[in-house]
Amino acid sequence: MFIDIHTHRPHQEGIYSIQNRQEDYENCNTLYQYSIGMHPWYIDETNWKDIFAKMKLAGNKRNILAIGECGLDRLCDISFKIQQDVFIQHIQWANEIAKPIIIHCVKAHDEVLQLLNDNPCNVPVIFHGFNNKKEIADKLIKKGYFISFGKALFNPSVEIVFNTIPLENIFIETDDSDADIESIYCQAARIKNISLDQLSLQLKKNFKKVFNSTSF
Ligand SMILES: [Zn+2]
């Protein structure tokens, strides 16, 4: 059983995935698992508060496992100040309903860490789609955060960083890529020089810990 911690694809047989939704969360299939949140790219700058209030109504459902993806992105056109306000709302919401938070962060790690420091997050924090430097990964690990890796594991510089991260802090994801979860698992096991079974077992443990889950 593969666990895909963050994907934008429909559910597939044999894969336990958390499908991300930033809209249409009322129609989540009760058989599957989801995360819901406001991606920084798609924030409606004039109307986000109303949209956020509606989204919150869906958050208590049992199959909404996490809040997100949410966070900060220096490369998009949305006002950075509004991105920060919206991100703070996600932190507070995740605390209120005690669900882990999945973070999208592009060229804004210091700012995200600062906001997580100023608005303490009482739930597990997962930085998804990591493709950054070791110094940043070290800062996240030091705070006890989790880091999720996807297709970037096929990039040699990310491979080197991945190899330094404790297995207890990782997740694997497909995000919006066309790579399949099995190939990313295989690549992760190869980099860590462990078997696919060992990796799968560890990722199940990480999942149970973060999601307080008895699914496996
Ligand atoms: Zn995503």
Residue 167 maps to a domain: yes
Residue 100 maps to a domain: yes
41: which DSSP letter? G
Distance 6 CA to ligand 1 centre (A): 6
What does the pLDDT profile of the chain (216 residues) look like in tens digits?
899 999 999 999 999 999 999 988 888 899 999 999 999 999 999 999 999 999 999 999 999 999 999 999 999 999 999 999 999 999 999 999 999 999 999 999 999 999 999 999 999 999 999 999 999 999 999 999 999 999 999 999 999 999 999 999 999 999 999 999 999 999 999 999 999 999 999 999 999 999 988 777
CATH label of the domain that carries residue 90: 3.20.20.140
Residue 63 maps to a domain: yes
The structural domain count of the chain equals 1
d(CA 139, CA 134): 9
Residue 141 maps to a domain: yes
Q: Which structural domain range is residue 9 located in?
A: 2-211
Contact 68, 210 (CB under 8 A): no
Distance 125 CA to ligand 1 centre (A): 15
Residue 205 maps to a domain: yes
Distance 39 CA to ligand 1 centre (A): 8
Residue 216 maps to a domain: no
145: which DSSP letter? -
